[in-house]
């Protein structure tokens, strides 16, 4: 029992520094602002959710909630069809 | 046993609002454009649809080439119709030579306020 406890207490001391990462919790933009509407014709807003290559960014990076991420990715795909958004940005 | 698709047999009596975005050849002449719009109106009136609104965005750069063109004239058309009308409209659009691409979408609240924003941006 004693040994076990010692080991447990010794561990953080042995590892020394505990790495602290200060990550601010991301908030879904569309939940925070109700006036923001997801529109497939609005390329300026869609640009925020797309990488430089034109790929749709995942939820863990954009910080959207699941409901709005679904809408955003649908809207991007719709605007790709009418060539408002690019499929790939290799040409540019 | 063959399953019947009940959804196909149902005919909706109430009209819905739709929005089509049409991309035309950028070098289109004005006469031809007016002809095109008149033709759309004609098709709508024949099939019991109501023409509501029309918007011209002018020539814009396309993000990828379509039919070897890198620019296109964007046109927005709003109308209210039954669902079966859209097939007829898109058939007509496909026949028209200058029409490069089109997309029809149900007109919802999400799309509505955008229109004002565009106007504001232009005024600024």
Classify the C-alpha dihedral A55-A59-A64-A68 as positive or negative: positive
Question: Contact B9/B84 with Cβ under 8 angstroms?
Answer: no
pLDDT in tens, B75-121: 888 888 888 888 888 888 888 888 888 998 888 776 665 455 555 55
Cα A5 to chain centroid distance, Å, stands at 40
Model confidence over A50-67: pLDDT tens digits?
Answer: 988 889 999 988 888 899
Nearest alpha-carbon partner for B64 in A50, A82, A62: A82
Say if the Cβ atoms of B114 and A37 lie within 8 Å.
yes
Task: Establish if A82 touches chain B: CB-CB under 8 angstroms.
Answer: yes
Q: Which one, of B101, B102, B98, B21, lies nearest residue B54 by Cα?
A: B21
- Domain residue ranges of chain B, discontinuous segments joined by +: 14-123
Asked if B110's CB is within 8 angstroms of A83's CB, the reply is no
A56 DSSP β-pair partners? A50
pLDDT band (50, 70, 90) for residue B71:
confident
Q: A26-92 belongs to which CATH class?
A: few secondary structures
* CATH architecture designation of domain B14-123: 2-Layer Sandwich (3.30)
Q: Which of residues 27-66 of A touch B (CB under 8 A)?
A: 35, 37-42
Domain residue ranges of chain A, discontinuous segments joined by +? 26-92
- The contacts of residue A65 (CB under 8 Å, 6+ apart) are A28, A30, A31
**Adjacent-strand bridge partners of B101:** B23
Residues of A in contact with B21 (CB under 8 A): 41, 82
ipTM score assigned to the predicted complex: 0.72
């Amino acid at each position: 029992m004693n040994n076990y406890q010692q080991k447990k207490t010794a561990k953080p001391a042995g590892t020394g520094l505990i790495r602290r990462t200060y990550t601010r919790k991301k908030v879904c933009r569309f939940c925070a602002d109700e006036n923001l509407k997801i529109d497939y014709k609005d390329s300026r807003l869609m640009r925020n959710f797309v990488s430089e290559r034109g790929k749709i960014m995942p939820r863990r990076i954009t910080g959207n909630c699941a409901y709005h991420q679904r809408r955003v990715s649908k809207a991007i795909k719709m605007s790709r069809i009418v060539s408002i958004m690019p499929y790939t940005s290799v040409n540019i | 046993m063959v399953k019947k698709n009940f959804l196909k047999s149902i005919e909706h009596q109430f009209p819905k609002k739709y929005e089509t975005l049409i991309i035309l050849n950028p070098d289109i002449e004005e006469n031809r454009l007016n002809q095109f719009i008149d033709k759309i109106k004609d098709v709508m009136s024949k099939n019991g649809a109501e023409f509501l609104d029309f918007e011209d965005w002018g020539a814009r750069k396309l993000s990828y080439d379509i039919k070897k063109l890198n620019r296109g004239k964007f046109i927005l058309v709003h109308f209210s119709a039954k669902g079966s009308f859209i097939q007829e409209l898109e058939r007509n659009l496909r026949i028209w030579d200058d029409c490069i691409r089109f997309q029809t979408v149900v007109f919802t609240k999400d799309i509505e306020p955008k229109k004002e924003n565009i106007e504001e941006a232009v005024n600024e």
